[in-house]
Amino acid sequence: MTISVGDQLPDVALVKATEDGPEKIQSSDYFKGRKVALFSVPGAFTPTCSARHLPGYVDKAEQLKAKGIDEIACTAVNDAFVLGAWKSSSNADDVTMLADGNGDFAEALGLTMDGSGFGMGKRGQRFSMVVDDGVVKELNVEAPGDFSVSSAEHMLGQL
C-alpha cells in the first residue's frame, strides 16, 4: 500500500550522512516536531537527479524555509558515503542526506521502482512530500521517467 496524504510516516531506520560519517537514525525521531521538505531520487549522481532535482532544492532552499520548512532532506537507495560525496560535490549544504541503503524506507512507503534494466536494482521512486511532525501533508509522485511534480518549484507552489 502506498503512503497517502494524512498518513504517519513509517518508523524505519535510516542513515544520515554527516561530516563525521554515517549516523543511524529512526525516521520517527528525525521527522518529529518539525516541518520537512523531503524528496527522493532514484540514485545519487544520476543524470536528472544531479542536473535538476537536487540543484532545484539547493537553489530554492531559502524560499522553502521562508514558507515554513524547517529542513530539506533527500533520500535515495544509496549508502551514506555515496550520498555524502554527492552532497559535497553538489554544494548542497542546505540539504540533509538520508541514506536508505537497503530500500526499507522506500518499501515501507510503497514507493519503490525496479531499476534492474539499468543495473540499479530496487530503488525509491522519484517523489517529494511535505512532512509535518511525521505526518504527510503533501505528496507528489512522478510517473516513470518524468520530472515535474517532485521539483522544488512545484513544492513552493503548494506551501
The answer to whether residue 49 is catalytic is yes
The predicted pLDDT at position 112 comes to 86
- Does residue 6 fall inside a structural domain? no
Residue 152: C-alpha distances to residues 48, 72, 90, 155 (Å): 14, 10, 16, 5
Name the pTM for this structure.
0.93
Does the residue 19 lie in any domain? yes
* Pairing between β-strand 122-124 and β-strand 127-132 as defined by DSSP bridges: unpaired
- Supply the pLDDT for residue 118: 72
The phi, psi pair for 106, rounded to 5°, reads: -60, -40
Q: What is the CATH number of the domain that holds 89?
A: 3.40.30.10
Q: What is the pLDDT, as a whole number, of residue 105?
A: 97
For residues 106-127, one letter each, b for 16 or more C-beta atoms within 10 angstroms of the residue's C-beta and e for the rest, the string is bbbbebbbebeeeeeeebbbbb
* Total tally of structural domains belonging to the chain: 1
Each residue's pLDDT expressed in tens, for the chain with a length of 159 residues: 699 999 999 999 999 999 898 999 999 999 999 999 999 998 888 767 676 789 999 999 999 999 999 999 999 999 999 999 999 999 999 999 999 999 999 999 999 867 667 766 587 889 999 999 999 999 999 988 888 899 999 999 999
- DSSP states of 18-37 as a string? ETTEEEEEEHHHHHTTSEEE
φ, ψ (nearest 5 deg) of residue 96: -85, 130
Domain range enclosing 129: 13-158
Per-residue pLDDT, 121: 58
- Options 49, 61, 77, 130, the catalytic residue: 49
